[in-house]
């Protein structure tokens, strides 16, 4: 394979695998070890061209500035939690949204949790477990895809500068993943980065996110 083709495949692979790319950009990665991993992943033989491509991989891209920006935002952020949360996954359709209209308004008027997120194949409604039956009563049985209970919501609330700080969602999701914590749902809106997690993961999530905010 031409060296230029190897270099292009290596760049694409590093872009798609941030852990490896970050190790190079931060200057903490062993090129030979990373090259062996890439060869294994891509089915390449001979590491010399791969090592050369790793050495040429961009180490700039404002990495230091980006990391500093994330740290500034994190130091000004706080964590809020909510237990006994349910996630209802519903089918697509205007009729679903129409049926949700009144109950969503009721829950918001009562200052209860209610988030409605439209996705490519349906609608996800996040509510307190006690509110779930009220929502389900407004729907046809055929409109319900699934109900997940025993969830917790962990919200990282940041200053408005979060909107101009790239990489924060990835950073937070990464520290959770590093602890083996599964993210059931995640969304980032305005100043809030919100994760839905299994109830049993709450303590571990709080511990690692608290360390991250310091």
* Overall pTM surpassing 0.85 (yes/no): no
3-state secondary structure of 90: strand
CA dist 28 and 26 (Å) reads 6
Those residues with Cβ within 8 angstroms of residue 102's Cβ, 6 or more apart along the chain or in another chain: 138
From the CB of residue 99, how many other CB atoms can be counted at a distance below 10 Å?
18
Instruction: Provide the CA 47 distance to its chain's centre, in angstroms.
Output: 33
- Could you state, in chain order, the average pLDDT of each consecutive group of 10 residues for the chain (214 residues)? 75 82 80 90 87 80 65 88 96 90 94 92 94 94 94 92 80 88 92 94 94 84
In this structure, are residues 125 and 135 in contact, taking their beta carbons and an 8 Å threshold?
A: yes
Residue 163, pLDDT score: 79
Residue 149, pLDDT score: 95
Residue among 74, 92, 47 nearest 210 (CA): 74
Those residues with Cβ within 8 angstroms of residue 207's Cβ, 6 or more apart along the chain or in another chain: none
Pairing of strands 122-128, 114-119: antiparallel
């Amino acid at each position: 394979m031409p060296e230029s083709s190897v270099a292009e495949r290596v760049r694409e692979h590093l872009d798609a695998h941030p852990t490896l790319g970050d190790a190079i950009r931060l200057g903490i990665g062993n090129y030979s070890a990373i090259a062996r991993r890439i060869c294994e992943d891509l089915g390449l033989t001979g590491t010399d061209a791969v090592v050369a491509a790793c050495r040429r991989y961009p180490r700039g891209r404002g990495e230091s500035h980006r990391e500093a920006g994330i740290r500034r935002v994190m130091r000004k952020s706080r964590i809020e939690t909510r237990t006994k949360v349910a996630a209802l996954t519903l089918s697509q359709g205007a009729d679903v949204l129409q049926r949700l209209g009144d109950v969503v308004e009721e829950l918001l008027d009562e200052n209860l949790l209610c988030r409605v997120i439209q996705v490519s194949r349906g609608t996800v409604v996040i509510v307190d477990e006690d509110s779930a039956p009220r929502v389900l009563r407004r729907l046809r049985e055929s409109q319900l895809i699934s109900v997940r209970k025993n969830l917790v919501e962990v919200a990282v609330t940041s200053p408005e500068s979060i909107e101009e700080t790239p990489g924060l969602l990835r950073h937070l999701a990464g520290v959770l993943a590093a602890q083996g914590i599964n993210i059931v749902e995640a969304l980032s809106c305005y100043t809030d980065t919100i994760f839905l997690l299994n109830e049993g993961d709450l303590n571990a999530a709080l511990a690692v996110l608290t360390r991250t905010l310091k």
